């Protein structure tokens, strides 16, 4: 909770110098914060909340407001509130059978009464309200204790909004093009509001209604926005700007569409079944210099759907690796592990990795696996010839082999693990 308010404060500080009279929306994974500034010259000001927003009135906060400022909320009308507006008045009520009567509203339950005093308790049908104002959305009314002139900053929480990222990789005659889309679902139009998408491990604040008080002697406080600055990412969060207003309440917004350098790799990742299985096909783009949020990737080779992968973290200045997009038909692998007994408090194991190439051309295959962290390697053979293998501190290794067409290889690793 403390971390959330700290990050919200950072946003307020960053936008404080932008001198705008419109609102800015920061969209997180399942909620949004709206931050706005307005020049005030008067004793009262009303903020209209857009229709369709899942507005949390207990989250509304002000900064720069004088002491004794009061806030009240006008809520969207419901059937109950429309009855309340017409208490003591006559309305038309159409019963399920089609009968239309002029009835007086006694209670918003509703309870209606005809001219003879007969009461109708929750009658089945629908009312017709005449000369009744209807409010579609929230409004926030701010009342100052006296004439106030100055800049007012406010913020409020919207629940239920979300965004994620999807990609399409098109491979045509050796050329690869990657297209990235933000999928933004707000439930309301942005109009002229500035929109930022935020990626980070930030949770919505837990706002408990019965601990929030407002009154004449309760100064409404919010985070200050006096400092200057530009909106940018930090080590804890990533902020992505949406440069054009959204055309609808839910859209796909293309933020990236570039030709990229790409290579394909065959990778054998054993699944310990002992059965022959197709190796994975990975796609790699080295030193990717554009920042990409994590998301799903659909892959097309020409007009053919060629697989599916995931970018599982934010990529920037590193290799873009699309793992396991599909499996090969002609390149297969098999893994067998044998327990060779216990010798001098060491358990002995033998790993056998077999890769078969059914195609006519030579293929390069990478064998990726892991050994126990405390394993001691005794011997490594490739087709009965001694080779070296590099294992990282986590026990993981990646070994490259070349397999001739219509041929196979076998990698053998003999290792020991303390009892």
Residue-wise pLDDT for 348-381, tens only, equals 999 999 999 999 999 999 999 999 999 999 999 9
**79-128 sits in which CATH class?**
mainly beta
pLDDT, residue 354, reads 98
Q: How is residue 162 annotated by DSSP?
A: E
pLDDT, residue 221, reads 27
Contacts of residue 206, defined as CB under 8 A and 6 or more positions apart, other chains included, come to 1
pLDDT, residue 210, reads 34
Query: Pairing relation of β-strands 125-128 and 119-121?
Result: unpaired
Cα–Cα distance between 105 and 121 in angstroms, integer? 11
Element holding 168 (H helix, E strand): strand 162-172
Cα–Cα distance between 348 and 340 in angstroms, integer? 5
**DSSP per-residue string spanning 133-148:** ----S-EEEEEEEEEE
Token pair 């050796």 is found at 174
Q: How is residue 211 annotated by DSSP?
A: G
**Whole-prediction pTM:** 0.74
Contacts of residue 325, defined as CB under 8 A and 6 or more positions apart, other chains included, come to 280, 281, 282, 283, 297, 299, 306, 307, 308, 309
Backbone angles phi, psi at 351, to 5 degrees: -105, 130
Q: Hey, which bits of 289-345 come out as E strands?
A: 295-301, 304-311, 318-343
Q: Which two tokens stand for residue 394?
A: 């986590």
pLDDT, residue 79, reads 97
C-beta atoms surrounding 71 within 10 Å: 19
Asked whether 255 and 181 are in contact (CB, 8 A), the reply is yes
Q: Where does the chain hold its CATH 2.30.30 domain(s)?
A: 79-128
* Residue among 393, 23, 6 nearest 188 (CA): 23
* Residue among 113, 109, 76 nearest 91 (CA): 113
Whether omega before 328 lies within 30 degrees of 0, making that bond cis, reads no
Query: Pairing relation of β-strands 363-370 and 263-268?
Result: parallel
Asked whether 11 and 35 are in contact (CB, 8 A), the reply is yes
Angle ∠(226,228,231) on CA atoms, nearest 5: 115
Helix, strand, coil tally for the chain in percent (to 5): 5, 55, 35
**DSSP per-residue string spanning 363-415:** EEEEEEEE--TT-EEEEEEETTEE----B-TTSEEEEEEEE-TTEEEEEEEEE
pLDDT, residue 231, reads 52
Cα–Cα distance between 169 and 310 in angstroms, integer? 12
Token pair 């059937």 is found at 79
Burial of 299 (0-12, 13-18, 19+ CB in 10 A): buried
Cα–Cα distance between 275 and 399 in angstroms, integer? 20
Taking the chain (419 residues) in runs of 10, the rounded mean pLDDT of each run is 50 42 84 92 94 89 94 96 97 96 97 97 97 95 96 92 95 94 92 87 53 28 27 68 90 94 96 91 91 92 94 81 95 96 93 98 98 96 98 97 98 96
Element holding 3 (H helix, E strand): helix 2-15
Cα–Cα distance between 349 and 339 in angstroms, integer? 5
Asked whether 334 and 274 are in contact (CB, 8 A), the reply is yes
């Amino acid at each position: 909770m403390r971390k959330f308010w700290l990050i919200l404060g950072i946003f307020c500080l960053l936008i404080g110098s932008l001198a705008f009279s419109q609102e800015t929306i920061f969209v997180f994974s399942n909620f949004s914060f709206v931050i706005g500034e307005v020049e005030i010259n008067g004793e009262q000001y009303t903020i209209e909340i857009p229709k369709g927003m899942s507005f949390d009135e207990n989250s509304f906060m002000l900064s720069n407001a004088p002491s004794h400022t009061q806030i009240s909320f006008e809520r969207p009308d419901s059937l109950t509130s429309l009855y309340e507006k017409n208490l003591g008045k006559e309305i038309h009520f159409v019963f399920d059978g089609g009968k239309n009567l002029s009835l007086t509203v006694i209670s918003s339950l509703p309870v209606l009464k005809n001219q003879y005093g007969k009461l109708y308790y929750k009658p089945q049908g629908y009312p017709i309200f005449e000369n009744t104002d209807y409010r579609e959305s929230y409004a926030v009314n701010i009342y100052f204790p006296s004439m106030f002139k100055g800049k007012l900053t406010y913020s409020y929480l919207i629940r239920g909004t979300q965004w994620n990222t999807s990609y399409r990789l098109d491979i045509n005659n050796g050329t690869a093009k990657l297209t990235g889309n933000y999928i933004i679902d707000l439930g309301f139009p942005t109009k002229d509001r500035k929109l930022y998408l935020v990626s980070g491990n930030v949770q919505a604040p837990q706002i408990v209604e019965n601990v929030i008080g407002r009154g004449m002697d309760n100064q409404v406080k919010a985070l200050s926005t006096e400092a200057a600055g530009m909106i940018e990412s930090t080590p804890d969060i990533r902020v992505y700007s949406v440069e054009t207003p959204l055309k609808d309440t839910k859209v796909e917004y293309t933020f990236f569409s570039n030709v990229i350098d790409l290579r394909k790799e065959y990778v054998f990742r054993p699944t310990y079944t002992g059965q022959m299985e197709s190796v994975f096909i990975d796609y790699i783009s080295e030193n990717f210099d554009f920042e990409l949020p994590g998301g799903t990737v659909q892959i097309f080779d020409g007009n053919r759907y060629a697989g599916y992968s995931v970018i599982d973290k934010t990529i920037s200045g590193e290799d873009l690796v699309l793992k396991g997009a599909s499996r090969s038909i002609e390149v297969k692998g098999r893994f067998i592990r044998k327990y060779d007994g216990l010798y001098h408090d060491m358990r002995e194991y033998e790993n056998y990795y077999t890769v078969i190439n059914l195609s006519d051309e030579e293929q390069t295959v990478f064998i990726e696996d892991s050994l126990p962290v405390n394993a001691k390697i005794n011997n490594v053979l490739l087709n009965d010839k001694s080779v070296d293998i590099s294992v990282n501190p986590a026990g993981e290794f990646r070994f490259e082999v070349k397999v001739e067409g219509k041929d196979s290889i076998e990698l053998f690793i003999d290792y020991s693990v303390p009892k």
